[in-house]
Amino acid sequence: MSRNFWAILLLAACSILSGCAGSNGPGDGSIDQISDDGAWDATPIDAEADSVVRDALPEAWTDAGTDVADTDQDLFRPEVIDTDGTDDIEPDAVDAGADVAGDTAPDTGACWKEPIDCSGTTEFDYKCTMGKPETCPGGLCAAGLCIGPMLDQDRWAACDDDCCDPCEAEGGCPADCGPGPEFSGTKEYDNATTISIWVHGWSNTNPDEEQYGRERGCGGILQDAANFGVVRPCSKEDGTELAPNQIAKFEYFGNTPASWLTPEQIAEIEQYPLGGPKTLHRYALITAMYIRHKLDQTGATHVNLACHSYGCLISRYMMENNLLGLAAENRFVRWFTSAGVLAGARLARLYDNTSVREVADLFGISQGDFIVMNPDFVMDNAAAWNHRLYRADSPYLGDMIIHHTCGDDPRIKQALNIALLDLNNPGDEPNDGIMYTLDTFFHDQDEPNRFHSVDGTGLLPSHSYVYVDHMAVPEAEGSVALCAAALFHGRKVEIVLKDILLKDDLESDWGLDKAPAEIVVEHQVRYSPYLPDTFGRNPLISENLIDYRTPEMFQATQGQSVAANQIIFAGPVFDDQQDLWLKAEILEADWYPRFDVRELALGIGDKHDALITFQGQVELRDHEFVAENEKARITIAVRVFSMY
C-alpha cells in the first residue's frame, strides 16, 4: 500500500511538471454514400499509387531488419512492401571482419564472403561491471545486471537470406541453417477437444506468496467471452475440471511450486531463476508444463491461446522455441493477443528513468522482466526462427488463426492518467502508456506459414484498435467480442479501400500546404445489429483515428486514380452474423507528425479535412461498392473468408 501510494504521488508530480497529456478524442465527418453492388474484381487499376513508407520507430530504437510501416495485410496489394529489411541482401554484402570462423565454417556453397566477423552475434549474457560502460552498452548496470542495453542492431541482418554463414550455425539462425521442424499431428479448428487457456500479464503479487503452476479457474478475457455466447466449462468447477473443451487460467508467477508438479519438473524449472535473463524461459517452461498437464489431464487435443501483455511474450517464446514439443505436435490452433508484448517493450530501454521504474513497480514489472522485454533480448531469444521482431515467420506459428487487439490511449488510468511513453516519443508513435502500439501485433508472415482459408487464400494475422490504456485492453467489450469470434467462430472479413480518385485534393498549393495530398483512412466498426440483437451489447469493435496516431498514410494526386489497396478493417466475425456497421472516413491530412506531415504554420488551423465518408451497413459477402461526392470517388472491396 505504501509503495503504490508513493509511486502514484511521484507520477502525479511527473505529470504536473512534465505536462503529460493524452491525445484528443475523435472528430466528426459528413456522410455521403452512393452504393453499387458488384462482383469481386481483383484487377489492379492502371494508375499506380504514390506511397509514403517510413520507419515509425525513433532512430535510436530501431531494431535490425524491421520496418514497421503497416504492411501486415497485403492480400489486396499489387506490390508488397519489404518489411524485414533482408530481401535485397546479397551474399557478398555480409560485412567482412576478423576471421573467427576458422575451419569450422559449414559448407554452404561459398554463398558467404570470407572473412566474417561473428562478434555481433555472440550471445550477450546481460552481466556487467559498475564503472565499465563497455560491459553494458547504452544500458544501466544495476547489481551486476545490464538493463536496457543497445546491442548491434544489424547483428541478424543476414538471417533468412538462404545462406548459412558461420555466424548463423549451431542454432543462431534456424531459417538459414536448419534443420527445419518435424511436425506430428494435425491442427483441428472446430472440435470438442480444444482447451482454451488464458495467459495473464504482469502481476504485482509477492512471489513468496504465490505458487507457480497453480490452477486459477476461469478468468480474464475468456471468462468475459460468456457475454458473447461462449459457454465452456471452467477448469475449477466441480464436475467440469476434466472437460476437454474447458477454459483454464493458471499462474506462472511465484517461488513455490503447485502440488501437481513432479520433483523432476520442479528441478528443471528451478534451473532458471527469477530476476535475470533466465526469467522468460522459466515462465515459458511453466506455461508449457501446465499446458501439457492439462492435455494429459483432460484428454484435450488442441489449444486456443488468449493472452495479455507479458503473457503474449511468454506465449511467443514458448511456441517459437517449441518447449516440450507442443508446437511441433500441432497443438496450437488459434491465438488471440491483447496489448501483447510481441516485439518487446521499448519501455525496457528506459530503466534509468525514475518514473518508468515507479510505474513498473506499480504494475509488478521486475528488474528481470526489464531484461527479457528488451527488444534486443526478444530479437535474440523469442523471435528464434529468423530474429524478425514484427514477423510471424516461424513454422511453429504456422497455420494458426491469429488476431491482435491493440490499445492506443497513452494515459495510464492506474497512474493518474500520466502519458508515460509520450514523455520521450520523438516519433509521435501511438501507444497505450506501456507499449508502443506498433509493437503489439505481427506486421507480416511468410506465405507458406499463413493460415489458408477454404478458398486457399493465405491470410495474415489481423489486428484491431481500442482506445483504452494498456491494462484495460482485454477488458474492453470490443476486445472481448473479437476474442469470442476469433477463438470460437470460423470467418474473417477484410474491408479494403481498393481505389480512390481525387477530384479536389484540398491542397492550396501555397505556403506549406502543397500537393500531392496526404491521405489517411479512418474507421469505426460495430457488429450491429447482430450483437445488440443477440446479446444485448453493442461495443465499438475497432476504432482507428488520426487523433490516436494509428492510421497509416499514402499520397494521391488530384485527377489521378490511385490503386490504394489500403486495409480499412480486418478481423474475425461471428458465424451467424450477416453484416456490420462501418464508418470509413477518407481524410486529407495537413498535420500528422508521425509521418512528418506539418503543413500548418505553427500547427494552427484545421489539421485534416474530410474528403468523403461512407457510413452504413456492410453485408458480409464478397462484393464491391462505390461512394462518390464532389471531392472524391472511392471503391470499397469486401471479402469474407471461411476459415475451415
In a domain, 236, yes or no: no
Give the pLDDT of residue 513. 61
Is 119 domain-assigned?
yes
169 found inside a domain: yes
DSSP β-bridge partners for residue 197: 248, 305
Q: Is residue 13 part of a domain?
A: no
Report the 10 Å Cβ neighbour count for 182. Answer: 7
Give the pLDDT of residue 19.
Answer: 38
pLDDT at 434: 95
- pLDDT score at 31: 33
Calpha distance 273→283 (Å, rounded): 10
Query: Per-residue pLDDT tens for 242-255?
Result: 999 999 999 999 99
Domain around 105: 85-178
Is residue 117 domain-resident?
A: yes
Cβ pair 18, 423 in contact under 8 A: yes
Handedness of CA 470, 471, 474, 478 (dihedral sign): negative
pLDDT computed for residue 446 by the predictor:
97
CB proximity list for 236: less than 8 A, separation 6 or greater: 215, 216, 217, 218
**Contact between 497 and 586 (Cβ < 8 Å):** yes
How many Å apart are CA 366 and CA 83, to the nearest integer?
A: 32
Which regions in the chain score pLDDT beneath 50?
1-108
591 domain residue, yes or no: no
Nearest to 471 by CA among 438, 432, 441, 440: 432
Predicted local distance difference test score (pLDDT) of residue 110: 53
Q: Up-side HSE of residue 316: CA atoms within 13 Å toward CB? A: 34
DSSP state of 534: H
Q: Check residue 600 and give its pLDDT.
A: 81
Q: What is the pLDDT of residues 51-84, one digit of tens each?
A: 322 333 333 333 333 333 333 333 332 233 333 3
Query: What pLDDT is attached to residue 352?
Result: 80
Task: Please state the domain count of the chain.
Answer: 1
pLDDT at 62: 35
